[in-house]
Amino acid sequence: MLNRPNARAISLARQDNAGRAWRWVSGSLVAVGALFAAGVVDAESHEGVIQSHGYNEYGELKYSADFTHLDYVNPEAPIGGEVSISTSGTFDNMNPFATLSGTPGLMSSMMYERLMTSTDDEVGSDYCLLCTTIEYPEDQSWVIFHLRDDVTFSDGTPMTAHDVIFTHELLREQATPSYRTAISQLVEKYEALDDYTVKFSFSADAPERGRVSQMGAQIVMSKAWFEETGARLDEARMETSPGTGEYMIGSIEPGRQLIYTRNPDYWGADMPINVGRGNYDSIRVEYFADTSAAFEAFKAGEFTFRRENSSLNWATSYDFPAIEKEWVVRDTLDDGTLPAATGFVFNLRREKFQDRNVRRALGLMFNFSWTNENLQYGLFQQRESFWENDRLKAAGLPEGRELEMLESVREYLPTEIFTEEALLPHESGERALDRGNMRQALVLMEAAGYTIGDDGLLHDANGNTLDIEFLETRQSFDRVITPYIENLQRLGVNITYNRVDPSQYQARTQENDFDIIFGYYVNGLQEGRGIRQRYGCDNKDDVFNPAGYCSQAVDELAKLVTAAEDYDEMAAAVRAIDRVMRYEYFIVPVWYLGKNWVAYYDMYEYPDNLPEFGLGYLDYWWINQDKADALAAAGAFQ
């Protein structure tokens, strides 16, 4: 299962993607599962049926049924004001589920809530949000959600079990292909037992683990609206169905601005899990052509909160007047979340990348050390693992349960998996072009059947050059990617760097029409059935699997993830998968930060005890109105 953010914000802080298509990678469209927990706090068991206000994958819930608020919020936080943020690119669609048509507006799913929600200080826990309690047998052959009877959509109509069932059917019919396949295999029967009770019965041959949380992650949409409008879930449109969430769409200027406003009649404002959260009256999103324009606008006070992702800016550009006048705060905050597995992604659907020697050779030409020291001011760490977490990433030689799991799929694996330590990123020297690595790369290319011709280019046995296009959309990445391109050209690769506009980039990547991109996979601190959607052979053309990766060994190991009885078993299976995928080298690992760089006008405040797994600036931060008024009077804002 992915480490899902809370349902109210739905990974709002992770949407700073420089105009790239927003992908709903958190929650039910990706994470199909969670695992059964033995011993749930405040759960009751009657004749083998467990009843609880929440559910945890492998252990106990942190919060009891009578908790008053989350530990990391300020229950006395004032409500009011506006937070404004930015993104780059454009949008032409407010339906976040139409992932293959149009570019959805940033955070366009925030008006929809899930049956259950997670917290930012636990891994694997889900608590009833639209429900009061759940019940399920120990074998998880079914789950019942007892719904709240006071939930309303933003148009004032009540939410009932019939909306839950309708949404489930809509997702089965019109969601992404991988979700439709997964949910159809998982859920055998679904029904509304009455107006406020729904039951999902699971297929007998579906993995026992990963059932309850999957259904708890389902959003709920209005049956009446869809029936009245005839809208489809998979069509791009500006009009949106009403949701049950605290925020709803306030105004839209296509391609320029989005404003989400508080629903004054939000049904759940006083719920314990919502206390101290959702503290703004509105959330404004400003669109800019590129990140440079956005930064200039921030300096001028056109928007007020910025998550910085440029080391160049962070190290050299925070000396503008608003900083000097102490209007803007610049801060580095802890980040305990799992970093995305970012890097240069090879499109394995292309014949040219089928040979691992070619992929390794191309990877050797990236110099992280030089890039980090000379272009990124030494601020980043080099990514080693798909799961950059000590419990989940493979290390050294395989041993114990991980080794046993690998032995079970030995027929699909090379001997090196068992005899060599887990693959680490190559080391590079202080110069942009590491000649030792280039010599190694040439040896690998020769092993793949390539030789250098009189024109200085690599040629295969048929005389064909190795033609590669690196596709990108962010101008700010030129400074990092261009040296890599130059190194590949020195190797003899006939490579071009093609930077296109965001809409073209989205269209081409959705159609898997690329050679190499700077891409990523979003993994979780606990994994379930969602791991097969990202790396499974059945989903090698899915939007969540940019490389088109497929491995029989990983497919089998993924089954052990979903069948795991406890955390240690799951972690061993993830380490085995990590080891295999790092060896197969379908993405050149680059960097990660492990911190949050934030800059904001000095009117925002946050709790003293920010949680390990969330920043929460669009959720449980708040505005000090006196400070805001003082800044406005001083002329800080435009």
Supply the DSSP symbol for 2.
-
Mean pLDDT for 443-457 is: 97
Q: How far is the C-alpha of 363 from the C-alpha of 149, rounded, in Å?
A: 56
Whole-number pLDDT of residue 627: 98
Using CA atoms, how far apart are residues 273 and 290, in angstroms rounded to an integer?
37
E-state strands within 125-256: 125-128, 131-137, 142-147, 187-194, 197-202, 247-253
- Mean pLDDT of the region 330-359: 96
**Average pLDDT value for residue range 520-524:** 94
> Phi and psi of 592, rounded to 5°?
-150, 160
Across 19-23, 55-59, 489-493, least confident range: 19-23
Instruction: pLDDT band for 511, please (50, 70, 90 cuts).
Output: very high
Task: Label residue 510 by pLDDT band (50, 70, 90).
Answer: confident
Residue 191's DSSP bridge partners are 199
Q: Do the domain assignments include residue 163?
A: yes
Domain count, the chain: 2
3-state secondary structure of 592: strand
Residues with Cβ within 8 Å of 64's Cβ and at least 6 positions away in sequence, in order, are: 41, 42
Looking at the structure, tell me whether residues 351 and 221 fall in a common domain.
Answer: no
Q: Is residue 494 part of a domain?
A: yes
Per-residue pLDDT, 22: 24
Residue 8, pLDDT score: 33
Q: What is the DSSP string of 103-133?
A: -BPTTTTTT--BSEE--SS-SSEEEESSEEE
CA distance 363 to 98: 34
Give the burial string for 492-513 (b: 16+ CB within 10 Å, else e). Answer: bbbbebeeeebbebbbbbeebe
For 376, residues 6+ apart whose C-beta sits below 8 A from its C-beta are: 311, 312, 480, 591
CB–CB of 108/95 below 8 Å? yes
What is the structure's pLDDT at 13?
32
- Give me the amino acid identity at 318: Y
Which of 203, 229, 255 is a domain's end point?
229
Give the burial class of 269: count Cβ atoms within 10 A of its Cβ; 0-12 exposed, 13-18 middle, 19 or more buried: middle
Spatial separation of the C-alpha atoms in residues 338 and 525, rounded to whole Å? 7
Q: Is the pLDDT of residue 6 over 70?
A: no
Of residues 33 and 98, more confidently modeled: 98
* Residue 64 maps to a domain: yes
Q: Does residue 270 belong to any structural domain of this protein?
A: no
| H helix count then E strand count, the chain | 18, 27
Quote the CA–CA distance of 616 and 580 in Å, as a whole number.
34
Q: What is the pairing mode between strands 328-334 and 467-472? A: unpaired
Q: How many CA atoms lie within 13 A of 3 on its CB side?
A: 22
Do 348 and 224 share a structural domain? no
Are the C-beta atoms of residues 559 and 529 closer than 8 Å to each other? no
pLDDT band at 29 (very low <50, low <70, confident <90, very high): very low
Task: Decide if pLDDT at 588 tops 70.
Answer: yes
Q: Give the whole-angstrom CA distance, residue 55 versus residue 36.
A: 8
| 281 pLDDT higher than 60 | yes
**CB-based contact 92:103 (threshold 8 Å):** yes
Looking at residue 153, its amino acid is F
Given pLDDT bands bounded at 50, 70 and 90, which one contains residue 248?
very high
Query: The domain that contains 567 carries what CATH number?
Result: 3.10.105.10
Predicted pLDDT at 47:
60
b/e 3-38 (16+ beta carbons within 10 angstroms → b): bbbbbbbbbbbbbbbbbbbbbbbbbbbbbbbbbbbe
Inside any domain, residue 629? no
* Pair 57, 198 in one domain: yes
Question: Has residue 429 been placed in a domain?
Answer: yes
Work out the mean pLDDT of the chain and round it to a whole number: 90
Q: What is the pLDDT of residues 218-236, one digit of tens each?
A: 999 999 999 999 999 999 9
Burial of 212 (0-12, 13-18, 19+ CB in 10 A): buried
Least confidently predicted of 146-150, 156-160, 385-389, 530-534: 530-534
Boundary (domain end) residue, out of 229, 256, 275: 229
| Domain-located, residue 153 | yes
Same domain, 446 and 577: yes
Share of the chain above pLDDT 90, in %: 80
Q: How far apart are CA 606 and CA 305, in angstroms?
A: 13
- The model's pLDDT over 371-425, given as tens digits with 9 standing for 90+, comes to 999 999 999 999 999 999 889 999 999 999 999 999 999 999 999 999 999 999 9
Mind listing the pLDDT tens digit for each residue in 190-214? 999 999 999 999 999 887 777 899 9
Q: Which residue has the higher pLDDT, 390 or 250?
A: 250
Q: What dihedral do alpha carbons 294, 295, 301, 307 form, nearest 10°?
A: 90
In this structure, what CATH number is given to the domain that contains residue 187?
3.40.190.10
**Model confidence at 507: pLDDT above 60:** yes
Supply the pLDDT for residue 255: 87
Q: How far apart are CA 590 and CA 368, in angstroms?
A: 7
Which alpha helices (DSSP H) does 175-217 contain, by range? 177-186, 212-216
Q: Which residues contact 528 (CB under 8 A, 6 or more apart)?
A: 1, 31, 32, 33, 34, 35, 57, 209, 210, 213, 214, 561, 562
The predicted model scores a pTM of: 0.84
Task: Tell me the mean pLDDT in the region 86-98.
Answer: 90
State whether 225 and 348 are in the same domain.
Answer: no
Is 615 a member of any domain? no
pLDDT at 459 over 60: yes
- 26 & 172 share domain: yes
Is residue 83 pLDDT above 80, yes or no?
yes
The boundaries of the domain holding residue 205 are 12-72+113-229
pLDDT band at 37 (very low <50, low <70, confident <90, very high): very low
C-beta of residue 85 within 8 angstroms of C-beta of residue 285: yes
Q: What is the pLDDT of residues 44-68, one digit of tens each?
A: 545 689 999 999 878 789 999 999 9
